[in-house]
Structure 1
């Protein structure tokens, strides 16, 4: 809360050591005495064991500024009834323990409570007095080491003074339990080996605030700190924890000046006004906030959500009508509020006449009574200057001062920590006295005793204290001397009548397992916004699933762009920093938020291309059936019988098989379809081309037979020879297909190389040589047929079927020559489509070129379908 000044600490330690060495050299090694007596305001009570306390009961002090004579004791003024109540809380706790028969039975506790007056030097004097005696000469052992009168100190109020005092008392291992010092630097066990505290450190205060930020999704916040170590320690801790958690970043970090520096405050408020951050966290004191709020009001900076540190979360000085339009709805961290039964009755017994001690020790009680009987007023003629005077309060005013100030126990926060600190020391002493000799924790398994009690022995047991207060809070200390931290979460509610009410809306605490729990009743929170809902405070909106965060160069990590994941990558979390690649057989969906199985692509019966090719295949098959029917019906006519009608029927049958085998290329490839499709295609086409080749050879043989001496050529082209030739040529293709299927059979394959987003299911030919031989054999027969037909193209008209054969084989060759480059360059299903198209195109070419003219004569020119007409076509022109 209040941090230390290293230069002050070093100076005080040096002064102390110098004073101590001078004292030893002057008095000799066998007697010890104080160099001078400190006259301090305090409260004292005798007992078997004395506990010390340091409290800020007066705000101000005056020191002697001249060194021509012995300096006088400082004069303290500015009485603080709250600080006095804290000291009385310790007195009450000691009195309550003395009346407890279970805790420290047969032992009476006493106390020495001192007023620090808010000054480091006075706190030093008080600490030195408590660890070395109350100022009277005393004799220790030969080495000037002995048991100090005070075995534990409760205090101090300020972190700065606590750091300095603890540095001194730690030299003697005197335990010091603070109820108000929050600087996280005090958790350093090497520097402060005997320091403990019942208030959470600033480190936990920062973690508690981060929990609130996460609860409402505030990642873009501004941070204001006071210009001292308290603020700077808090800022370092906040930045460190913020970076570790990755839950947000700072829009700005500014230091509030201690004095009312108008120019600096204008600059800071101007930054706040321009910033897009809607949340402002402030680690500062009420005085800093007063200066800041004056400038906030002037520049009319509204729409901010303030997060208050413990130092000002309950500061009533800020609850003014002029500040509430800006500060209403503030969320703050406050010291845990507790209840102390019986404290009110104890405070009512405070009276100078009831104090059995000397008048010097009774000074603070007198100050208290003087304070409650003083009332301030503005005299006539002094309104402009605002100066005030004092008068004696009336009876009702005295009662009001007591009830609304000193006896208002509805908000016991530092007092509750004082109460726990006293009980922690009492429990440590109780555990020490319960030790059984021979099983103790000290050297030789010894135990501590009341007669030879050492402060470090109390520190040992204080480290292991574990008890629960009547209010239900567990009190124990970790390895750094910090108690189990707990804070109340406060909310500033602006009531319709203009007043302010600070409500407890939850708590945040850390368990022994280091897990932080935030319990918040959001329905009770007052939000000072038109929506009556928590504001949004982010530099960049969260990146939804399917995108990744891309940091903006030169800007805080909370400022980023949301970049959609590329194809094949996904992010299924909000604010993902990277996109993850999908597994091999998966691909990203359109939203890029999860992976889906890749679609299987093949030439399907359900797609337009597949439907078109299927229709063409079935149409060609049907056309073959129709032509076959026509030829069967007119099988006795000259056109059908000319040039071996049996071969014509065989050609029609093979063409029908060609049309049908194209269906094997459509649909998802299976093992049997991959193996059967090329075999069926190759054999069907060889059967067809073989018939055409034989038919062509027959035409040439018949022409030669018409010439003298050429009749012997017909005996090689009889019906049996024609059939045998067709079968032989077809069996060669069947042997090629069988060898191919046995040696390296085509198989279905899921190809992921063509496309990233889908799988191409295709038939791998297995052996490229086998596939090439199959096509080459068909091509060889086709070329041979074409050459023979081309040679016979100019035969007499009665043998001019060679012209149709020439044209049909020319179409066939042209189609398959074009097929090869198209097939090679077509990926996936389009390769199958190209092959099907080649099969259909060549089949239709053969069908129409060979049988189209004959069907035309049979159906439309029956007068030409006679032997006379057919023979007359050979007449020379």
Structure 2
């Protein structure tokens, strides 16, 4: 029998070629941390680099298979899914540390994440500061409109109310109330009904208001400038209530456009995905229907502005050009900002805020620009609210016209 031999090594006598004589690490790779995937390096499977998973993905070997299995079970909720397929999925995902997994569409994750987080839902909530501000504006506008209605009812037979349109004024005020009320449908979580109602009601009610202003501007210009040149046309206009026929036809056209729009492609709820949230809002639905409705409203606004400009030299108690022009200019700004809010990228979070504010502002533009100056005359300048004053203004205008000719 050979003698048993032993070898004894004294580690303190070994000189390693490293700083501070440290023992070298024999593995070619270290363990990756959670949120990092393995990137193979060279021909040896045990050698790899660790790389952070990008945002929107995750990698957690201990929980990955379980999450994926539950996701598949939810998708196939109507199909009987037995446990072995899930078990196979778990084995597959746990054994794959080389790929980062995408988060679900309603989730997000920062770089180097080992799990996904739910995105927040963003929309105009009732208790949000901006919503409270909008509600204060809306309620203030409704209160102002109701006060105007009361003033006009108490002074219905005065020249100022008659020159403003008489009974037509109450139709305008009712449409302004509807326009203000649309702001309530912009607050709270949007749904298909609220998306359609707020578009339909505002478009039609604002169309009625613009049609009334257009008719009133045309009537004043017609009385002072066109009645003498076209007496028959003016006679038929007055005899057959041309103003109400025009308002009905104008509103009917807008209703037809909106109805076709709502049938072919109505507005519905839409979610804009940003980094950590989903912004809930309403899309416009059928682009052609929305464009026709919008362009028709712009056409009425331009016509109102043109007739207001034509009447800029009328008697001052009938001269509403500067007030109507002011209201229409605000409407033009509203149209530009409204379209800008829809096409500007990376601002989806604020689209509802902008559109709600513009809706309230457009209603204010008519109330402040057309009715408040008349209320001021009724309340604080009663001497200008008499037939004598109106007749003197007309006589002065006629005299100037004769002198000019």
Cα drift, residue 712 of structure 1: 6.4
**What is aligned with 1:688?**
209
* Length-normalised TM-score, structure 2: 0.75
- TM-aligned CA distance change 1:698 to 1:643, over 3 Å: farther
* Aligned 1:819-858 pairs, distance under 5 A: 819-825=338-344, 827-858=347-378
Please name the residue that 1:569 is paired with: 57
2:224 aligned partner = 703
- Number of the residue aligned with 1:791: 310
Aligned length: 359
Residues 327 and 365, structure 2, Cα contact 8 Å, conserved in 1:
yes
Q: 2:118, 2:267 → 1: CA distance?
A: 26
Match of 1:618 in 2: 139
User: Secondary structure in 2 aligned to 1:749?
Assistant: strand
Q: Distance in 2 between matches of 1:644 and 1:653?
A: 14
User: What residue number does 1:328 align with?
Assistant: none
Residue 736 of structure 1 pairs with residue 257 of structure 2:
yes
Counterpart CA distance in 2 for 1:715 and 1:259 is: 125
Offset, 1:807? 2.6
1:265 — aligned with what? 13
Distance apart, 1:771 and its partner CA: 0.4
Q: Structure 1 residue 705: deviation in Å?
A: 7.2
Contact 1:598 1:758 in 2 (8 A): yes
Structure 1 residue 853, shift from structure 2 partner: 1.2
Instruction: Quote the offset at 1:715 in angstroms.
Output: 4.3
Post-superposition CA distance 1:51-70 (Å, at most 9, x none) = xxxxxxxxxxxxxxxxxxxx
Correspondent of 1:274 among 22, 26, 31? 22
Once the two structures are superposed, residues 163-195 of structure 1 have per-residue CA deviations (whole angstroms, 9 ceiling, x without a partner) of: xxxxxxxxxxxxxxxxxxxxxxxxxxxxxxxxx
The answer to whether the 8 Å contact 1:705/1:712 transfers is no
Q: 1:797 to 1:750 in 2, by over 3 A?
A: closer
Gaps of 5+ in 2: 63-93, 401-405
Q: Which runs of structure 2 are paired with 1:422-433 in the superposition (5 Å)?
A: none
Distance 1:750 1:565 in 2: 26
Shift of 1:688: 0.6
Whole-Å separation in 2 of the counterparts to 1:558 and 1:705: 93
Higher relative contact order (CA 8 A, sep 6+): 2
Provide closer, same or farther for how the CA distance between residues 702 and 263 of structure 1 changes in structure 2, counting only shifts above 3 A: closer
- Alpha carbons 1:571, 1:579 under 8 Å: kept: yes
- Rg larger in structure: 1
Aligned equivalent of 1:36: none
Structure 1: which 5+ runs fail to align? 1-115, 119-156, 159-225, 227-257, 281-538
> Helix, strand or coil for the counterpart of 2:271?
strand
Q: 1:588 corresponds to which residue?
A: 109
> 1:213-292 alignment to 2 at 5 Å?
265-268=13-16, 273-275=21-23
Structure 2 partner of 1:748: 269
Distance 1:270 1:726 in 2: 94
Kindly provide the CA deviation profile for residues 738-789 of structure 1, in whole angstroms up to 9, marking residues without a partner as x.
111122222223344xx25433333232211100010111111111111111
Does the 8 Å contact 1:655/1:843 carry over to 2?
yes
Distance 1:805 1:719 in 2: 26
- In the other structure, the counterpart of 1:648 is 169
Q: Return closer, same or farther for 1:840/1:259 CA change in 2, 3 Å cut-off.
A: closer
1:859 Cα offset (Å): 2.5
| 2:385 pairs with 1:865 | yes
Secondary structure of the structure 2 residue equivalent to 1:797: coil
Determine the C-alpha separation between the residues in 1 that align with 2:166 and 2:176: 15
Tell me, yes or no, if the aligned pair for 1:798 and 1:872 is still in contact at 8 Å.
no
Q: CA deviation at 1:869?
A: 3.2
Per-residue Cα deviation, 1:354-401 (whole angstroms, up to 9, x for no partner): xxxxxxxxxxxxxxxxxxxxxxxxxxxxxxxxxxxxxxxxxxxxxxxx
Q: Structure 2 CA distance, aligned partners of 1:823 and 1:271? A: 63
* Partner SS for 1:621: helix
Which has the larger share of helix?
2
CA spacing shift, 1:552–1:870, aligned 2, 3 Å: farther
The one of 801, 807, 811 equivalent to 2:330 is 811
Q: Partner residue of 2:148? A: 627
Distance 1:871 1:594, change over 3 A: farther
| Distance across 2 between alignment mates of 1:618 and 1:804 | 23
Deviation sequence 1:482-536 (CA, Å, 0-9, x none)? xxxxxxxxxxxxxxxxxxxxxxxxxxxxxxxxxxxxxxxxxxxxxxxxxxxxxxx
Spell out the pairing of 1:271-420 with structure 2 (5 A cutoff).
273-275=21-23
Normalised by the size of structure 1, how large is the TM-score? 0.37
The aligned residue for residue 90 of structure 2 is none
Distance 1:686 1:603 in 2: 26
Offset at residue 566 of structure 1 (A): 3.1
- Residues 862, 593 of structure 1: alpha-carbon distance in 2 compared, 3 angstrom cutoff: farther
Q: What SS is found at the alignment partner of 1:572? A: coil
User: 2: CA distance between counterparts of 1:784 and 1:269?
Assistant: 91
2:139 & 2:131 partners in 1: Cα distance? 12
Matches within 5 A, 1:501-512: none
- Does 1:725 pair with 2:246? yes
In the TM superposition, residue 549 of structure 1 has moved relative to its aligned partner by 6.7
Cα–Cα, structure 1 residues 764 and 271, in superposed 2: closer, same or farther, change >3 Å?
Answer: closer
1:769 to 265, 269, 288: 288
Residues 595 and 855 (structure 1), Cα distance of their counterparts in 2 relative to 1, 3 Å cut:
same
Is the contact between residue 57 and residue 111 of structure 2 (CA under 8 Å) also seen in structure 1?
no
